Amino acid sequence: MSSDTNAPHPATDGMGGRGYYDSHSSAQKGAIHSQEERLRDAARALDLGGRELRIIDYGCGPGRNSMAAFHTVLDEVRRRRPDLPVVAMHNDQIGNDWNDLFANVRGPDGYLNDMDSIRAEASVGSFFGPVASAGVIDFGMSFAAAHWLDSAVRMPSPGSLFFCDLPEPAKGDIAAMAARDWSAFLKQRAREMKPGGMLVMDMLSAVPDADAPSGVAAGGAGLYRALGEVARDLADEGDVARDALDTFIFPVYCRLCDEISAPLAQDSALNDAFEVVELTNELLPMPTEEALKETGDTAAYAKAYAGFARAFTEATLTAGLFARSASNADAAKALANTFFDRLETLFATEPDKYGFAHRVATLVLRRK
């Protein structure tokens, strides 16, 4: 296994800009909506006796989706301490669309629009490293982000770009890498959070599945297999460079609940730092699939599903495949357009084959 030295180092450098992610992420928005009661319960558990409260969203993206989560937490805080100054922090990679983020923060759904005494801050950098000072965070949240690996990876992987379809030893190598990342994520949060602070987060996950060749049913599996199919077709036609594809792994890892809880139980520093309030694994609805069931409109389904996929995979596919197959940035963009057109066609042709499997683990932690 090797970290990729030619591609940009982070596994992702943001979700693409100018509102594209915001308008193609109703699944992520729905998942955040489903966390409302957990967010309220966690906010009610906070000690609001201090002079200021700090809330952070790790892996915020352009932020429209998390405005609802900020409102939920702030509502609970304001109910008890209407005057308490709050710092709302938004963390993501440097390539995130920060203009979209701050447009959302002060837009019609943004908390600056209807709440006082809140200061918005950006925290720029990888959440696998420090993104806040020690002991300052009262409330952390993170949605649909912690399943991304820390860095791009290249290893021989002909025939698959999804972690759970890899043969050994590659599969074990990725699992070890994801375990190191997860432990690093938790250690950083242990350092940043105040005693009594709460962390509510979700991430794509997996469950054991004896019938699957890989032994697990992983979130997003249908989509990643479809991406692999389109990439292989384009490589057969000579548009995607074969050597780039044969060593490209999409840098996400969907953890089992046991993998999420392992470091919290086994690492004494983490065990001392956190109480696990809740850990659950659920299969959430996919708006694209619900709409297909209701209307039978396969063309609309394929368009919406391909748009959803493009919003969070294009930057990574461009760095890992398209830029390596094209002579310049315009040609890489043209290849991306072809790729996502083909993906849409594939979804329209076989609407039942590539269901996303929106499997999400939720973890609620209390800093001791």
User: Should residue 28 be labelled a site residue for ligand SAM when binding is judged by CB under 6 A?
Assistant: yes
Task: Name which of 45 and 184 has its Cβ closer to ligand SAM.
Answer: 184
**What is the Cα–Cα distance from 207 to 282, expressed in whole angstroms?**
9
Least Å from the CB of residue 242 to ligand SAM: 28
> Residues near 339 by Cβ (< 8 Å), separated by ≥ 6?
230, 231, 234, 317, 322
Whether the upstream peptide bond of residue 156 has omega within 30° of 0, thus cis, is no
Q: Which of 137, 144, 175, 254 binds ligand SAM (CB under 6 A)?
A: 144
Least Å from the CB of residue 334 to ligand SAM: 24
User: Should residue 92 be labelled a site residue for ligand SAM when binding is judged by CB under 6 A?
Assistant: yes
Q: Which helix (H) or strand (E) holds 89?
A: strand 86-92
Task: Name which of 14 and 140 has its Cβ closer to ligand SAM.
Answer: 14
Task: Scan residues 206-225 and list those touching ligand SAM (CB under 6 A).
Answer: none
> Residues near 353 by Cβ (< 8 Å), separated by ≥ 6?
222, 226
Stretch that binds ligand SAM, among 1-9, 139-147, 232-240, 269-277 (CB under 6 A): 139-147
Q: Which of 60, 161, 201, 321 binds ligand SAM (CB under 6 A)?
A: 60
Size of residue set near ligand SAM by CB under 6 A: 25
Place of tokens 């989509």: 223
Give the residues across from 143 on adjacent strands.
Answer: 202
**What is the Cα–Cα distance from 29 to 351, expressed in whole angstroms?**
23
The 3-state DSSP class for residue 325 equals helix
User: Should residue 104 be labelled a site residue for ligand SAM when binding is judged by CB under 6 A?
Assistant: no
The 3-state DSSP class for residue 7 equals coil
Dihedral sign of CA atoms 230, 231, 237, 239 in order? positive
Q: Which of 15, 152, 190, 249 binds ligand SAM (CB under 6 A)?
A: 15
Least Å from the CB of residue 61 to ligand SAM: 3
303 CB neighbour count, 10 Å cutoff: 15
Task: Scan residues 29-58 and list those touching ligand SAM (CB under 6 A).
Answer: 32
Task: Scan residues 295-324 and list those touching ligand SAM (CB under 6 A).
Answer: 312
- Contact residues toward ligand SAM (CB under 6 A) are 11-12, 14-15, 25, 28, 32, 59-61, 65-66, 91-93, 96, 126-128, 143-145, 148, 150, 312
